[in-house]
Structure 1
């Protein structure tokens, strides 16, 4: 299974950095990173 980060990089290579799908994947990755960081701070 590909990770979200790998998926974003591949989509960016194939469709470009400003393609809506690349941006959507990037935003989802950002959301997950922010959620992870918030959980780490709560420990």
Structure 2
């Protein structure tokens, strides 16, 4: 739930950014790197 709220806040911020596409790509890299860690902790 926290991650979902965080993503919504990021969405609001990067709409104001000129290089929003690059920002989205960077955020996707961060999320892909962190999600497996969360899954390991939950298991």
TM-score by length of 2: 0.48
Q: Which has the higher contact order (CA 8 A, sep 6+)?
A: 1
**Whose helix proportion is higher, 1 or 2?**
2
TM-score by length of 1: 0.48
